[in-house]
Structure 1
Amino acid sequence: MYFLERALKKLSKKVKSKKTDKKKYLPPDIVEGPLEALVLRQAGKSVAFRCRMEYCIDESGLGFSPVGWHPFVAVLAEYETNNKLVYKDSILEKFYKKWQPNNAGEALIGMDPPPKKMAELPPYALFLSPWKPVTLDELKARIDQWTSEDNLEHGHPELDWKKNGLKFFGPVNDDLGEFEFQRLIDIYEVLRKRGYDRDCGDIGVVLLRHRNEYRFLVAGGGRHRIAALAALGYKEFPAQYIVPQFVVDSRDAEHWPQVRAGMWSAKEATAYMDYLFDFDSGSWFDKFISS
């Protein structure tokens, strides 16, 4: 129960600090739509909006919607029916054991064929999205930073992604698997008992525009929270455009940094957007993980 106690203590401290210090974080106003929020964000005003769960995905194409599939949501659904569930018997462990991409191309689960140069890079280069203005070395340094900060914040500074693995795919060792499993359950229990506390910060998303449609890429913090909210049946939640590159439009594909650098072709970059919008993660689970 370490994580649950820590999470509850953290929530309690934030609520108390809000009462005693007006300079502490106050969540911004919520506007109804993502486009209104986008216009205000582009004008320099921080706002939140009601983000629809059905449109939320991650970089690998796995979805948080009721018709999609994501291992974080799936393991919490197991826990809902069996609160004595342990990591060793969970769908999360099965996911990490069965889904172990050899390269970044394979990590883009549903792209066939994958981008040619991505197939030559390590799996973590999955996050070298065509619109990202970073080199592979800069990406690796960023992963070093945010994983170490995240592990320290949650009481496990000894974890190192180069040794233990990354939470987004296998292989991971049992230390990281157990950590992610317990962290998800504890966040789920906090949200189940107390609801969504905006004083702890809203979930960050990037607006993806493609073919007159849009999706929300979870970025800027909140993967565990959105998984818990999805498992609890939330249809929408307060979200913000947090990261600097908060809107991506496929009409700009030829000008994206990784396309200009030759890492992706414009055709591959557009195909990646097709993939993010169309990938059936539920069917992929049925074929590759549950079998």
Structure 2
Amino acid sequence: MPPELQLLIDEFFSGNLIFILLALLVVIVILRAVRIVPQSEQYVVERFGRLHAVLGPGINLIVPFLDRVAHKISILERQLPTITQDAITLDNVLVQVDTSVFYRIIEPEKTVYRIRDVDAAISTTVAGIVRSEIGKMELDQVQSNRGTLTATIKEQIFAVVDDWGIEVTRAELLDVNLDQATRSAMLQQLNAERARRAQVTEAEGKKRAVELGADADLYASEQAAKARRVLADADAYATGVIAQAIAAGGLEAAQYQVALKQVDALNALGAGEGKQTIVLPANALEAFGDAFKMLKGKLP
């Protein structure tokens, strides 16, 4: 480097060194004072080792050299690894329960300063609650009331983790597994129950068939009785009409009707093919004669 150029540089720095140092200091202060927080995070700021503030998403200002960002906390929802544990029901059946928990941090200052390992603490809490609740139920109740059991577990977790600044968004009881011996016993019980229900259904079907057959017989008997009653009413009506006619026309009208019947019968006998020999009582001719007289008297 030429001596003249080196001299100029030395003169420039010697005269403006203070301004350069001030500018550099300003840049450092600005960089340390401005904090840009992402939308998915919150920053915990300490001043002299104590909690000072919690910075939300966006541009934030802090006091350089006095304040520092001690913790960067994600507020996204998290899922714990599936928790698998053993539990004993009220009827002394060993079951293996799989539980899944989702949570998010809503108060980072509590999570940072009140609990060391959040995931481990939640897992231990869930395990204790699940064992306690399953121990209050029999196996059949655990299987049939899974929704109620899940709601109870979730409610109790809420009460515990509130002091940690955490919100449990979901707590699901994924599966309840049994050992092979218990599975075989339950399968036998299920098959026996199905056989019993089939027998009951078959018996009820036969009973219903007998009831329907009896109802059908009863209905047929009622209809036959109604038909006989109708015929009896018709006969009674016809008899009544004849009785009224006799009452109105006297005995002569009745005799006239009998004479007509006798003549019709005689005509039917005479209309047969071949030769018939008809044997009549002695007084039959007199009856026919009387009938002819009555017919003749009726003719104009």
TM-score, normalised by the number of residues in structure 2:
0.16
Higher strand share: 2
TM-score, normalised by the number of residues in structure 1:
0.16
Higher helix share: 2
